[in-house]
Amino acid sequence: MIPRERAIKAIEHEEPDRVPVSLWLTAEAYENIKRYLGYEGDKEDILWASDKAFHISKKLVERLSLDVVQVHLPAPADYEPKTWPDGSFEGPTGLRTKKVGLYYEFTLYPTLSDVEDVSDLEDKFYERNRRQLYLFDPNAPRNIKPAIKQAKELYEEGYALSTFSCLFGMVEPPWYYRGMKNWFRDLVQRPKMARKMIDLVSKSIVEYDKFVVDTLGDYLTEIIGGGDVATQHSMQYSPELFREYFGEVERSYVNAIKRKAPHLKLCWHGCGAMRPVIKDVIDWGYDILNPIQPYAGLDTAFSMGPGSLKKEYGDKVCFEGAIDIQKTLPTGTLSDVEREVKTRIKQLASGGGYILAPSHNFQADTSGEKIVAVYDYAMKYGRYPISI
Amino acid sequence: MRAEEILEKLAESIAGCDPERARSVAEEALKANVSSSDAIFNGLVKGMAVVGEKYGKGEYFLAELIMAGEAMHEALNILMPMLDAEKGGFAAKGRVVIGTVEGDIHDIGKSLVAGFLRAAGYEVHDLGVDVSVQQFVEKTREVDADIAALSALLSTTVTNMTKVIEALKKAGLRDRVKVIIGGAPCDGDFARKIGADGYGGNAYEAVRIADELMKSSWSWRRKRK
């Protein structure tokens, strides 16, 4: 069975030959894997998006038996990455990041935090975010041929290809632009401002994602969007507000994409304890839910416990993720990792509907050995029929 | 307006997560000669309790906690300067040094806890984010803190909490300061493992734990004088 068929079967709730696997990781974790496998110096040309963009090698894709591989369009040809006076770096993902400790962290640049009057928002949105919006301008000059060529090759080799939605989806950019405090107040007390903000963001996203579908769509299996609406223990704001503000725009986004390319699967990436709105995301037309953090909302109504998620939503959405990166991967032993992989397969894999992956990007604190072990154990225990 | 009515309105402004209203009612309270400590403890704190209850029941979320925190901040900005001037003075419940540990810039949870502790009557020294071990130790010594509150969001930085605790020991401060921790990768087990005195899963628990520690630590606090 080729990887794409395997992934699609799983997404469509059929049992393939084995549980498909995908890879989410930080650039630092990639270095750990490379060191462990002795892959330094290998050709790296598959662009991977994470907290920052970096390239990984085909050899790793093969070693881990990945079924899902990322492809991304390049930034406009005349776009220059920029370092800002605060030391933050603005690169081709359009987000500003700065190295703090181990990582490049998002530095928020709330360009619209001072806007008080909703009628000013639109002009300022385009005026102040010109550089970033240019990155996602379908009309910008862009050398797309190599990306299309690579996508075609990977497609022909049988991989399922995924790409990220513009700005990683429409839920988070409003708080990047407004600042979190402002954004929460907009949602709760200034609905006109909140609606306008979402409207502006969603326009850019729909326009760019349609362009991505036009260029890469034939080769793509999956677009990953959505965004974080939860925290470790609960939601960021009420499920009612989430529905009220995002329901309509998300539905029309899903329709716009699926109308263009009915074969495309849409993945909602949302960290944390988002259980109360999983049903909504499914109703809006999302096919995959990622990253399933097993300890989020533990022992509460918000719990992302994989066993109960499978019971409630297993026939309606495909889960991607669930291999715990908060405790097991960084602090556990290899046999803990083995137990984790077995547990998640047991909880999630029956009847399809599961793509095994970390419960978010593998982090710098996880050894290459343990990351590779996740995939080796997945090959060992993920064969259908599951017999764990 | 009667004092009781003002106190009730103050509580409502916090419970309703309304920063503007909190500011204007706090101003009214001053005009009406309501004592600041009354306004804080019989107004703001009561409002906070309502927010906590609703958060606990799943009716309020992070957004409301942050807005309620902002509302408290607005009201406290007006009420705090009057506290010292008031007859009999005002003694903070305790002194807290708080920060997000080195290598970590996540501050939502940390700032919430700082705001809630402040509103609950603590003197709070917020060191911000990416706070070095040394900064924690120095500030703890400088202000003679009762509690050091450490926050981390990342599994890669949570280990720096251990370093802070070790450094407090080395500096001879550990028996004079209680250490509480919070953040996504922590839990009660982790707190015990690294030798912290408490773990709070949210800003309310943080206040409750601080209060408990201050009560239980009464004897050592007296002893150290």
Confidence of residue B71 (pLDDT cuts 50, 70, 90): very high
Residues in B closer than 8 angstroms to A231, CB to CB, are 62, 184
Structural tokens at position B59: 């009716």
* A234/B104 touch (CB, cutoff 8 Å), yes or no: no
B128 belongs to a structural domain = yes
Task: List the domain range (segments joined by +) for residue A154.
Answer: 3-381
> What are the per-10-residue average pLDDT scores of chain A (388 residues)?
98 98 96 97 92 90 98 93 85 79 75 94 94 92 97 98 95 92 93 98 96 97 97 94 98 98 98 97 98 95 97 98 96 97 98 98 96 98 96
Helix (H, G, I), strand (E, B) or coil at A153: helix
Q: Which residue, of B52, B85, B118, is where some domain finishes? A: B85
* Chain A nearest C-alpha distance from B83 (Å): 28
A54 belongs to a structural domain = yes
- Spatial contact of A283 and A250, defined as CB atoms under 8 Å apart: no
Q: Measuring CA to CA, how many Å separate B119 from each of A220, B45, B49, B113, B206? A: 52, 7, 11, 10, 12
Whether residue B143 is found in the same domain as residue B185:
yes
B131 belongs to a structural domain = yes
**Complex prediction ipTM:** 0.88
**Closest residue by Cα to residue B25 from B6, B44, B43:** B6
* A181/B70 touch (CB, cutoff 8 Å), yes or no: yes
Confidence of residue B89 (pLDDT cuts 50, 70, 90): low
* A184/B62 touch (CB, cutoff 8 Å), yes or no: yes
Whether residue B117 is found in the same domain as residue B31:
no
* Chain B nearest C-alpha distance from A105 (Å): 8
Report the distance separating Cα A307 and Cα A275, nearest Å. Answer: 13
The string of pLDDT tens digits covering residues B139-167 is: 999 999 999 999 998 888 999 999 999 99
A386 belongs to a structural domain = no
- Spatial contact of B44 and B10, defined as CB atoms under 8 Å apart: yes
DSSP per-residue string spanning A298-318: TTSTT---HHHHHHHHTTT-E
Helix (H, G, I), strand (E, B) or coil at A174: helix
Report the distance separating Cα A318 and Cα A267, nearest Å. Answer: 9
Residues in A closer than 8 angstroms to B184, CB to CB, are 231-232, 326
The string of pLDDT tens digits covering residues B175-220 is: 999 999 999 889 999 999 999 999 998 888 999 999 999 988 654 5
First CA to last CA distance, chain A? 22
B→A contacts (Cβ < 8 Å), by residue, are 17-19, 55, 58-64, 66-67, 70, 102-105, 108, 130, 154-157, 159, 184-185, 201-202
pTM: 0.89
Whether residue B81 is found in the same domain as residue B103:
no
Cα Rg of chain B (Å, integer): 18
Phi, psi at B70, each rounded to 5°:
-65, -40
pLDDT of B225 higher than 50:
no
* A234/B58 touch (CB, cutoff 8 Å), yes or no: yes
Confidence of residue B88 (pLDDT cuts 50, 70, 90): low
- In this structure, what CATH number is given to the domain that contains residue B71? 1.10.1240.10
Lowest model confidence (mean pLDDT) among A56-65, A231-240, B18-27, B41-50: B41-50
Whether residue B124 is found in the same domain as residue B78:
no
> One-letter amino acid identity for A346?
K
Q: Which residue of chain A comes nearest to B154, CA vs CA?
A: A326
- Spatial contact of B30 and B82, defined as CB atoms under 8 Å apart: yes
Phi, psi at A97, each rounded to 5°:
-130, 155
The string of pLDDT tens digits covering residues B95-151 is: 999 999 998 888 888 988 998 898 888 999 999 999 999 999 999 999 999 999 999
Pairing of strands A96-100, A89-90: antiparallel
* Chain B nearest C-alpha distance from A342 (Å): 23
DSSP per-residue string spanning B20-49: HHHHHHHHHHHHTT--HHHHIIIIIHHHHH
What pLDDT does residue B120 have? 84
Structural tokens at position A42: 């290998």
The string of pLDDT tens digits covering residues A265-322 is: 999 999 999 999 999 999 999 999 999 999 999 989 999 999 999 999 999 999 999 9
Whether residue B69 is found in the same domain as residue B20:
yes
**Number of domains within chain A:** 1
Whether residue B100 is found in the same domain as residue B79:
no
- Spatial contact of A187 and A234, defined as CB atoms under 8 Å apart: no
Q: Mean pLDDT across the stretch B45-61?
A: 89
Q: Which residue of chain B comes nearest to A234, CA vs CA?
A: B61
**Number of domains within chain B:** 2
Whether residue B78 is found in the same domain as residue B186:
no
Whether residue B152 is found in the same domain as residue B72:
no
How many helices (DSSP H) and strands (DSSP E) are in chain B?
11, 5
A301 belongs to a structural domain = yes
- In this structure, what CATH number is given to the domain that contains residue B217? 3.40.50.280
Report the distance separating Cα B184 and Cα A329, nearest Å. Answer: 15
Pairing of strands A96-100, B123-126: unpaired
pLDDT of B221 higher than 80:
no
- If one counts every other C-beta atom within 10 angstroms of the C-beta of residue B90, the result is 15
What pLDDT does residue B86 have? 65
A181 touches chain B (CB under 8 A): yes
Q: Which residue, of B85, B105, B138, is where some domain finishes? A: B85
Residue A298: burial class (beta carbons within 10 Å; 0-12, 13-18, 19+): middle
- In this structure, what CATH number is given to the domain that contains residue A256? 3.20.20.210
A387 belongs to a structural domain = no
Best residue of B62, B157, B160, B205 to probe chain A, by most A CBs closer than 10 Å? B62
Cα dihedral B161, B167, B171, B175 in deg (nearest 10): 40
Whether residue B106 is found in the same domain as residue B80:
no
Our CA angle for B202, B205, B208, nearest 5°, is 155
Q: Which residue has the tokens 């291999």?
A: A323
Helix (H, G, I), strand (E, B) or coil at A98: strand
Contacts for B37-40 with beta carbons within 8 Å, 24 or more apart? B37/B83, B37/B86, B37/B90, B38/B3, B38/B7, B39/B6, B39/B7, B39/B10, B39/B75, B39/B79, B40/B76, B40/B79, B40/B83, B40/B119, B40/B121
What pLDDT does residue B223 have? 45
> One-letter amino acid identity for A371?
I
Q: Which residue, of B41, B63, B85, is where some domain finishes? A: B85
* Residues present in chain B in total: 225
Task: List the domain range (segments joined by +) for residue B58.
Answer: 3-85
Whether residue B104 is found in the same domain as residue B199:
yes
Residues in B closer than 8 angstroms to A235, CB to CB, are 61-62
* A101/B130 touch (CB, cutoff 8 Å), yes or no: yes
Report the distance separating Cα A233 and Cα B187, nearest Å. Answer: 12
Whether residue B120 is found in the same domain as residue B197:
yes
A164: DSSP letter: E
B146 belongs to a structural domain = yes
Whether residue B39 is found in the same domain as residue B129:
no
Pairing of strands A318-323, A288-290: parallel
What pLDDT does residue A338 have? 98
